Amino acid sequence: MPQPLPIQFAAVDLAALAKATGRLAVLHEPGQTPTAAFRRLDRLAKGALSRATGSEAFARLKLGEALELAYPAGLDVDAVQILRLSKRAGVAEARKAGAAVGRAHGTGATLVLAEGHPRAADIAFGLALRAYDFDTHKTGEKKVPGPVTVAVTNPEAVARTAAPMAAVAEGVFFTRDLVNEPANVLTTHDFAARLAAMQELGLQVEILEEDQLMKLGMGALLGVGQGSESPSKVVVMQWHGGAKDEAPFALIGKGVVFDTGGISIKPAAGMEDMTMDMGGAGVVAGVMRTLALRKAKANVVGLVGLVENMPDGRAQRPGDVVKSMKGDTIEVINTDAEGRLVLADVLWYAQERFKPTGMINLATLTGAIIIALGHENTGVFSNNDDLCNAFLAAAKAEGEGAWRMPMGDAYDAKLKSRIADMMNVGGRDGGAITAAQFLQRFVKPDVPWCHLDIAGTALLKSDSTLAPKGATGWGVMALDRLIRDRFEK
């Protein structure tokens, strides 16, 4: 499995630059006094850096972008990247600058000359996230990334600041790995086993099998997976880092390891992407890994419903009526609206067992949210302004796009069934909203709750600032920050 790059922080050694090999990255902002490292490199390269930064090409760069000089004369390095970044730059620009280095980083050594930049830890974080490459299933010799050193004036202090970011990076990588895995590898068995392995980090992990789920009355969840050879499971991950008697905050994830649509089968074109329909569960797993790695001082429980939605002689049919753990009956109009059935039972179980202070569920739930928001923002639905605003603030601080969507009784009315307590879909119009209204029926009125529809942000067809095309790990950073800001004292 890919792991975040090991990045070390060291003191700036100007004398050693003459003998440096591999790649160098140096910071510069037009109009500001060049750093000592920039001036030293410029002298060694006979003024090549100052000519480059005086060019129109460099002037057009935005904060966090880079201009590269390949094989500069006077230096033994393969390339020098000049990053346009001032000391006043914010977190997003610093991470973007690091990502520019991470995108170009290869098997050789990379030295980033950040000197006294106040965002040096964020530069390193962006570098680590963008250097990710999921090559697990490629044959041939693997390319092992070279070492990375970030040269700063106060390496010990920067390393302390970067330590929790390294835990977040590992959580993001864990999520990306899960979402990128093909469904013949990441079965419900394999997914549960990977989560159980996190017990070695201090998480308490339980795997609830089908017989236990039947006893609990999870008819909605079990109905989704009844056409698959892979048994349905619910995995519970507990992190006890806060006060002993304090109720936990709950994270709940949809974990459909592959979604054919069931009897309401999807079109063949693009169905291969449905390996990512466990993205919500993947984010929950990544956050729980991060919390354990950084020894978070909060009580958090992560619950994921793992199923596979397949067409089979035993598969759930349109028109079937299932009974949820809550006791409500659901008329299944469309078997491709399966994620909400999984979440309904896991949401109710989380409340019945843990009495959480609040809940956030994540799911690649609807194509409708992509129509509404594209791939830039996750749709946020909530019954509680305080929790919702806190999450939106955390997402903004971490640069993860999120946008609040409306809810209301008029949408809820569209779920009325002739033969059961509700239908699982409410028509094409407002589809992301009616899905959220369905889930809200399984949230107790006094429990603060947010639903995050990550269908547009979990996996991308093109590169983003901090990730190559494929799984993004969206949500790990925002949820970790929410827990730090809201629950850790």
**Cβ atoms < 10 Å from Cβ of 271:** 14
Candidates 39, 43, 103, 266; catalytic one? 266
CB neighbour list of residue 337: distance below 8 Å, 6 or more residues apart: 424, 425, 435
Q: Does residue 340 carry a catalytic annotation?
A: yes
453: left (phi over 0), alpha (psi -120 to 50) or beta: beta
Candidates 95, 340, 414, 481; catalytic one? 340
- In a 13 Å sphere around the CA of 402, the CA atoms on its Cβ side amount to 29
Instruction: Compute the distance between CA of residue 391 and CA of residue 162 in angstroms, rounded to an integer.
Output: 23
Q: Which of 264, 343, 266, 267 is nearest to 305 (CA)?
A: 343
Instruction: Compute the distance between CA of residue 222 and CA of residue 229 in angstroms, rounded to an integer.
Output: 13
CB neighbour list of residue 353: distance below 8 Å, 6 or more residues apart: none
Instruction: Compute the distance between CA of residue 364 and CA of residue 377 in angstroms, rounded to an integer.
Output: 13
Asked if 410 contacts 426 with a C-beta cutoff of 8 angstroms, the reply is: no
Instruction: Compute the distance between CA of residue 289 and CA of residue 195 in angstroms, rounded to an integer.
Output: 9
Q: Does residue 414 carry a catalytic annotation?
A: no
CA 272, 275, 276: angle at the middle one, nearest 5?
120
Asked if 287 contacts 181 with a C-beta cutoff of 8 angstroms, the reply is: no
DSSP 8-state symbol, 71 = S
Instruction: Compute the distance between CA of residue 70 and CA of residue 445 in angstroms, rounded to an integer.
Output: 61
DSSP-based three-state secondary structure for 201: helix
Looking at 355-475, list the stretches that DSSP marks H as alpha helix, in order from N- to C-terminal side.
Answer: 368-373, 385-397, 409-412, 431-440
Identify the residue whose tokens are 């990512």.
276
CB neighbour list of residue 128: distance below 8 Å, 6 or more residues apart: 4, 5, 7, 98, 102, 166, 169
What are the catalytic residues? 266, 340
